[in-house]
C-alpha cells in the first residue's frame, strides 16, 4: 500500500513523564499490561481483554489492511486476521524492556498458514518471523503501537 492511500494518522504525542502519563504506575506494571495483550489477546484470541488494555484514544502506527482505521478497532481486526490465517499462531516474547512510558519488545511469531491471509489462499506452510513492537502507555493502558513484523521473511516462508 502506498503512503498516499493510507488513512491519515494522528501525530504521536511527545514522550511525557508527567502525572497524567503514569506517575503511579511502574514500568513493571506496563510490562504486565503488554504481556497480557500478547498472551490473552494474540495467543489465545481473547478479544474481550482489549477493552481493559487499550486506551480509548489508542493510535495504531503499524501498516494496516485497506479500510481498517488506525484506531483501537485495528487491534481486534489484526488479531482476527492473524488467527484466521494462522490458527496456531504464537507470539513468544524474546526480549522486553520498559522505560518511562514506553515498552519495547522483540518477539518471535510462529504458526502454520491454514487459512486465507493477506488475500492469499492457505499454503499449509509454517512460518517463524521476528517482530519488533514499541508501545506507549498512559494511565496503565496502551495508547500507541508501532509494529515491525518481518513481512519479507513471512512471504518467503509461505512461498508467496
Domain with residue 130: its CATH number is 3.10.450.50
The pLDDT assigned to 96 comes to 97
Q: Which domain holds residue 100?
A: 23-158
Alpha-carbon dihedral 65, 76, 145, 16, rounded to 10 degrees: 140
Question: pTM of the entire structure?
Answer: 0.84
Kindly report, residue by residue over 87-124, the tens digit of the pLDDT.
999 999 999 999 999 999 999 999 999 999 999 999 99
> Is residue 144 situated within a structural domain?
yes
The pLDDT assigned to 23 comes to 54
- Separation of alpha carbons 14 and 7, rounded Å: 21
> Is residue 153 situated within a structural domain?
yes
> Is residue 17 situated within a structural domain?
no
- Separation of alpha carbons 147 and 154, rounded Å: 15
100-123 in b/e burial notation, b at 16+ Cβ within 10 A?
ebbbebebebebbbeeebeeeebb
> Is residue 3 situated within a structural domain?
no
The pLDDT assigned to 38 comes to 98
- Separation of alpha carbons 99 and 35, rounded Å: 15
> Is residue 137 situated within a structural domain?
yes
The pLDDT assigned to 18 comes to 40
The pLDDT assigned to 14 comes to 41
Per-residue pLDDT of the chain (160 residues; tens, 9 = 90+): 434 444 455 544 443 444 344 457 899 999 999 999 999 999 999 999 999 999 999 999 999 888 999 999 999 999 999 999 999 999 999 999 999 999 999 999 999 999 999 999 999 999 999 999 999 999 999 999 999 999 999 999 999 9
Signed CA dihedral, 12, 15, 20, 24: sign only: positive
The pLDDT assigned to 71 comes to 95
The pLDDT assigned to 25 comes to 86
Q: How many domains does the chain have?
A: 1
> Is residue 14 situated within a structural domain?
no
> Is residue 2 situated within a structural domain?
no
> Is residue 10 situated within a structural domain?
no
The pLDDT assigned to 65 comes to 87
Amino acid at each position: 500500500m502506498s503512503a498516499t492511500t493510507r488513512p491519515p494518522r494522528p501525530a504521536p504525542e511527545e514522550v511525557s513523564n508527567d502525572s497524567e502519563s503514569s506517575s503511579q504506575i511502574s514500568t513493571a506494571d506496563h510490562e504486565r499490561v503488554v504481556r497480557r495483550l500478547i498472551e490473552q489477546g494474540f495467543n489465545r484470541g481473547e478479544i474481550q481483554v482489549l477493552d481493559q488494555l487499550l486506551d480509548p484514544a489508542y493510535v495504531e502506527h503499524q501498516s494496516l489492511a485497506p479500510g481498517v482505521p488506525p484506531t483501537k478497532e485495528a487491534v481486534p481486526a489484526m488479531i482476527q486476521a492473524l488467527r484466521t490465517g494462522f490458527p496456531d499462531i504464537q507470539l513468544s516474547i524474546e526480549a522486553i524492556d520498559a522505560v518511562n512510558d514506553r515498552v519495547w519488545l522483540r518477539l518471535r511469531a510462529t504458526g502454520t498458514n491454514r487459512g486465507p491471509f493477506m488475500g492469499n489462499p492457505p499454503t499449509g506452510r509454517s512460518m517463524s518471523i521476528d517482530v519488533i513492537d514499541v508501545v506507549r502507555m498512559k494511565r496503565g493502558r496502551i495508547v500507541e503501537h508501532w509494529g515491525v513484523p518481518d513481512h519479507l521473511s513471512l512471504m518467503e516462508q509461505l512461498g508467496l
